Each structure stands twice: as C-alpha cells, then as structure tokens.
C-alpha cells in the first residue's frame, strides 16, 4: 500500500471546476492536491516547484493549450503522469493527447469514482482511455486500431502520425487560426516565408487535412486555440 499520498496538480482556468476536482480527489485519503494553475506558464512553474506525481490537465487553456504544456512538462519531468480532462471527446483528440505524453484522457463529466480510479491507474504506470485501463502496448494498439478504422491504410505514414506537432508548428497553427498569412507569420517569428511554408506542409500532413482553413477548424474544434486570446 502507498503510505505517502499521491501528490496532484490541477490545471484549468475555471476556479469552480478546479475546486470541484479538488473536493472529489481529496475525499480519498491517499491523494493530496499540492498545486493548482489557471494557465500553462504557471503550470510549468508549479510542476517544477511542487513535483506532483499526477497532473490533471485541461486542453483548452489560455496562452498555451494543454497539449503544449504537457509536452513541455514531460520533456523536463518525464516521470510525471498527466491526465487530460476535456470536453472535446473524439478518437483523434485522444491520439494527440497520448502522443503529447498524457497517460489518460477523460471527459469532464467523468464520475468521481472513475476519476479516482484513473488517478490510481496512471500513478501505477498504466494508461486509461475510453474508460479502459491498458498497458503502453495495449494503448498503442488501441490507437492504431481506432485511427486505422478512421483513415483506412496507415502504413505509409503511421510513423509520422505518432510525431506530435512541434512547439513551433503549434505556434504557427495558432497564428493561422487567428487569420495571419504565411508572410505575416514569417514577419512575426523572424523566419523566412519558405520556412513557414515548410512548417505548414508538416502541420497539414500530421493533422491529415487538406488546407490551412481545415487546419484552423481542426485546432478550434478541439480547443487547441482560443480566439479570445490571440497572440
């Protein structure tokens, strides 16, 4: 039995939702919420400062989305576990969350019992997707089966699909979603027009969409970019 409590951090920009999660989690004597954050930058700082075992992360955050924040935290602290909690529920969103480094993906209407069970499973090194607890091998097989079902033959680009958007690509996607042209993005970032075009090609390939408008819709529909917080 775990003698010391599981240290948790909650990342969401809605104070009432954070308090609700805290209330649910702390009904279990094995769990202790050591930090909260309302945006990505604070989450990264708090993760470094408080060293939580498990982070409950919303995808739709101000400044940086939860996928970006998860990648940064996991890059610095690989042992930390991340549970994505979000209202955007589809197979591709699960896929992006797992490849960003998350160990579980839960809807916001998850029951208290299921949430506590998910924290326990993730803490012990397992994955939880679609309410199912899996090993790493099982979750990879699950994603491949689901993504294959959606797209048909994945053999030509399956390896590329498991490479997440880089921080630069996510930044460019945010500018695209806010309506900037490649030329304007190049000026903003201090890079060449051709470099932006190269990044856009990679973004379209990874998201499996045909043009920048579809890429913007993809990002907005999954809560990756918030138009109320343009760069």
Domain CATH code at residue 202? 1.10.10.10
Closest-CA residue to 102 (of 143, 144, 63): 143
Answer with the one of 144, 179, 209 that is the final residue of a domain: 144
Using the predicted structure, report yes or no on whether residue 134 has a pLDDT greater than 70: yes
Distance in angstroms (rounded) separating the CA atoms of residues 145 and 147: 6
* pLDDT on residue 152: 44
Q: How far is CA 140 from the centre of its chain?
A: 16
* pLDDT on residue 156: 40
Give the residue-averaged pLDDT of 191-207. 89
Do residues 59 and 92 share a domain? Answer: yes
* pLDDT on residue 28: 92
DSSP H helical ranges for the chain: 15-25, 40-50, 66-76, 91-100, 112-123, 136-151, 158-161, 167-177, 182-189, 193-207, 212-221
Do residues 110 and 193 share a domain? Answer: no
Give the residue-averaged pLDDT of 176-192. 90
Do residues 176 and 113 share a domain? Answer: no
Return the CATH number at 61: 3.40.50.2300
Distance in angstroms (rounded) separating the CA atoms of residues 145 and 78: 26
Q: Which domain holds residue 15?
A: 6-144
The answer to whether residue 230 sits within a structural domain is: no
The answer to whether residue 68 sits within a structural domain is: yes
Distance in angstroms (rounded) separating the CA atoms of residues 97 and 154: 19
Phi, psi of 125 (to 5 degrees): 100, 5
Q: What's the sign of the alpha-carbon dihedral 73, 9, 103, 171?
A: negative
Quick one: tokens of 69?
Answer: 């924040």
What's the chain's average pLDDT? 85
C-alpha dist (Å) from residue 53 to 36, 73, 127, 177: 13, 12, 15, 34
> Is pTM beyond 0.85 here?
no
* pLDDT on residue 1: 47
């Amino acid at each position: 039995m775990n003698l010391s409590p599981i240290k948790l951090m909650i990342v969401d920009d809605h104070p009432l939702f954070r308090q609700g999660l805290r209330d649910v989690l702390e009904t279990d004597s094995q769990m202790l919420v050591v930090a909260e954050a309302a945006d990505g930058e604070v989450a990264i700082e708090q993760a470094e400062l408080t060293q939580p075992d498990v982070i409950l992360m919303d995808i739709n955050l101000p400044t940086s989305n939860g996928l970006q924040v998860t990648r940064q935290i996991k890059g610095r602290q690989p042992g930390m576990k991340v549970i994505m909690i979000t209202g955007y529920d589809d197979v591709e969103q699960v896929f992006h969350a797992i490849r960003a480094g998350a160990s579980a993906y839960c809807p916001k209407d998850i029951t208290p019992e299921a949430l506590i069970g998910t924290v326990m499973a993730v803490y012990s090194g397992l994955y939880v997707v679609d309410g199912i607890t899996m090993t790493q091998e099982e979750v990879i097989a699950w994603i491949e089966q689901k993504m294959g079902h959606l797209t048909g033959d994945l053999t030509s680009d399956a390896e590329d699909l498991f490479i997440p958007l880089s921080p630069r690509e996510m930044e460019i996607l945010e500018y695209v979603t806010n309506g900037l042209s490649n030329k304007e993005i190049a000026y903003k970032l201090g890079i060449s027009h051709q470099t932006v075009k190269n990044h856009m090609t990679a973004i379209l390939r990874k998201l499996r969409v045909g043009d920048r408008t579809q890429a913007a819709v993809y990002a907005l529909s999954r809560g990756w970019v918030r138009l109320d917080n343009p760069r």
